[in-house]
Structure 1
Amino acid sequence: MTETTSTGARTERARPLSRAERRDAIAAATMPLLVEHGTAVTTRQIAEAAGVAEGTLFRAFEDKDELLRAAVVLALDPQPLVDAIADVPGADLRELVRGLAHLLAEAQRVGMRVFSVAHQVLGARAAAPGAGSRAKVERLRVSRHGVDERQRANRAVVVALEARLSPHESELRVPPPVAAAVVSSLVFGTAVPHLTGGAGLEPDQVADLLLHGISEPTGTDPSP
């Protein structure tokens, strides 16, 4: 939209966001707050992060729970991580693997926090006064949807990793699709403490294991 100022200059006014665009913008601003505060995040904090008045939140969403669920759904979108994988520096295989390990480890940390919040939000909804079998069915449906979306997201990430590793195929002991699956499995798996029996591994440790394995180098000298 164009308007004329008092000096006669013509300026372009920003197009107002549609309700769907406003919801997406608010949900995107909420995601980092979910990671930091969980469900304790306040609508005032969300409004400040989104750059809107608190009342705007409730014109876009029915309530805070709906807003948090929208943020969780947005967090399941793998595209930002896929784009980030494409931008990891990698002039050589070592640099690339280390960069990917750090990126994926941070994505896993954020993802685990978001999923924890998702369970809190869905659990609170089902446990609310008056919630019955319908609420439990909804929670189960959303939970299954989340699992399906997670699987699709993981597949998109593996495909993106394969694309980055393929130029280094001559340096790999396995085909790029296998290498991509191993990178994804090892980084994500070692970022979960209960799977490693401890605090997990640092990204540099994971990268070293990916590049060199767990065994000591063996010499080629056949003499005793």
Structure 2
Amino acid sequence: MSSKRIAECAGVAEGTIFRAFPDKNALISATLAHAFDPAPTIESIKAVAGDPDVRFRLKTAVRILTRRFRDNAPLMMSLRGSGLAVVTTTPVFDPREALTGISDAVAELIKDDADSFRLPPETVASLLISMVFFNNRSEILPEDQIVDVVLDGVLSPEAKKEPAC
């Protein structure tokens, strides 16, 4: 896409773009950094920390994560398909670092409930995020059932009961 077309889509003059960015690569890098910035997601997850209901907190986190993955999926696919390599002097986006920050926020969200889990909060957070990510691609489960599967497993309540002697 030409810088002229980018300016038209942004509703600004082409010169305005180049007063803010030295070149097209810098503009694309800044756009990607903004789109993939994990800070808004982390802040949204932290905002539900005070609720006493762990299921509510995790279901809210699932909605936040689902929105993030859905919003970023088309951009990720476009980048992969375009062959575009954004060259910068400093890394703009480290997906591992972003995912670690998000995972840490989810683990922090449930740390006070650690004694009720069989696994550490960090592992529960990783499982939840993995399920949200995979579910975003294939929609196996409704959003609200992801938390139930992570917390309760896949056995029905009847199957979990001990057989009578």
Q: TM-score range by the shorter chain?
A: 0.7 to 0.9
Q: Which has the higher contact order (CA 8 A, sep 6+)?
A: 2
Residues in 2 aligned to 1:118 and 1:68: alpha-carbon distance in whole angstroms: 11
Q: Deviations over 1:56-94 (max 9, x none)?
A: 123223555642332112223222211111012632111
Q: RMSD of the alignment, in Å?
A: 2.7
The corresponding residue for 1:202 is 142
Residues in 1 aligned to 2:163 and 2:42: alpha-carbon distance in whole angstroms: 44
Q: CA deviation at 1:189?
A: 1.9
Q: Secondary structure at the match of 2:52?
A: coil
- Aligned-partner residue type, residue 167 of structure 1: D
Residues in 2 aligned to 1:80 and 1:114: alpha-carbon distance in whole angstroms: 17
State how many pairs are aligned: 156
Percentage identity across paired residues of the two chains = 26
Q: Does 1:214 align with 2:154?
A: yes
Contact 1:191 1:201 (8 Å CA) reproduced: no
TM-score (normalised: structure 1)? 0.59
Q: Secondary structure at the match of 1:191?
A: helix
> Any stretches of 5+ residues in structure 2 without a counterpart?
none
- 1:1-224 matches, within 5 Å, as 42-47=6-11, 53-62=13-22, 66-88=26-48, 90-119=51-80, 123=83, 139=85, 149-193=94-138, 199-217=139-157, 218-223=160-165
Contact 2:59 2:147 (8 Å CA) reproduced: yes
Contact 1:69 1:118 (8 Å CA) reproduced: no
- Over 6 Å off, 4+ runs: none
